[in-house]
Amino acid sequence: MNKFEHLKTLNHHISFYHVNETAFAPYGKVINNYNFEELDPYMNQQDIPKEGNVYVPSVTEMEETAIKEQIQSNFYGQLPIQIGYCNGVNSTLNGLEYHKCSEINYALTDIVLLLGKLQSIKNNQYDANDIEAFFIPKGTAVELYATTLHFAPCKISDKGFKVVVVLPEGTNQPLNKELDKRTEEDSLLFMTNKWLLAHPDRELLISRGAYPGIKGENIQIYY
């Protein structure tokens, strides 16, 4: 039994797919026309924390690369971008975020992404029963569409996970002013170009101002 099939047997509580299956199509696509391996040397030097996750939005060393120029010029249509990373030992849903743009994830380890659809948010509430899980093999880069709800990856080994994160420049930085709220969605704006729903179990996020908008189980991935 391969790794994906093994994980699928352990996670009957959620719809579980391989990223290469057609079920991924509403959420994004695999990126095949760029070589992200130029980023491997830097990422290989970065540790995985023993607890929680670490997210760094922008890393100069990874942004001084040919792949950065290619992605910025072609994929994002010359929009300035940032390249950072998320390393950690997370294995639960905890929250769901979205941006008004696509995000690229490049997996340095095998990971599982828990994904949902922006269209499923009703009155700033999202039902965790609608979440679907996708296995992303090491070395795979994926585009997550702007309408794809996502958050930190889930580990599938005790060692944790490593993922490169590419987004338009300035995303996930602190907001520079108090928002004059005009719409229901404004309550979800958590950081620059980052709208976030937190699971009520994730008290740390809520204490930082995240909106407690996920109903149901705080889904966990077993391995």
**Residue 157 · residue 223 · CB < 8 Å:** yes
Helix (H) or strand (E) holding 207: helix 203-207
**Domains present along the chain, CATH in parentheses:** 3-172+184-215 (2.60.120.10)
Instruction: Please name which of 171, 202, 175 lies closest in space to residue 186, comparing C-alpha atoms.
Output: 175
Instruction: Please name which of 203, 188, 153, 143 lies closest in space to residue 53, comparing C-alpha atoms.
Output: 153
Helix (H) or strand (E) holding 44: helix 40-44
User: How do the pLDDT tens digits run along the chain, 223 residues long?
Assistant: 799 999 999 999 999 999 999 999 999 999 999 999 999 999 999 999 999 999 999 999 999 999 999 999 999 999 999 999 999 999 999 999 999 999 999 999 999 999 999 999 999 999 999 999 999 999 999 999 999 999 999 999 999 999 999 999 999 999 998 888 999 999 999 999 999 999 999 999 999 999 999 999 999 999 9
* Distance from C-alpha of 154 to C-alpha of 220, rounded to nearest angstrom: 8
Tokens 């995985």 — which residue? Answer: 48
Output the pTM of the full model.
0.97
* Distance from C-alpha of 190 to C-alpha of 208, rounded to nearest angstrom: 9
The pLDDT of residue 60 is 98
Helix (H, G, I), strand (E, B) or coil at 71: helix
* Distance from C-alpha of 188 to C-alpha of 142, rounded to nearest angstrom: 25
Strand partners of residue 194 = 191
Pairing of strands 194-198, 189-191: antiparallel
What distances in angstroms separate CA 37 from CA 65, 131, 136, 184, one per listed residue?
11, 30, 16, 41
What distances in angstroms separate CA 217 from CA 11, 46, 68, one per listed residue?
14, 32, 38
Helix (H, G, I), strand (E, B) or coil at 68: helix
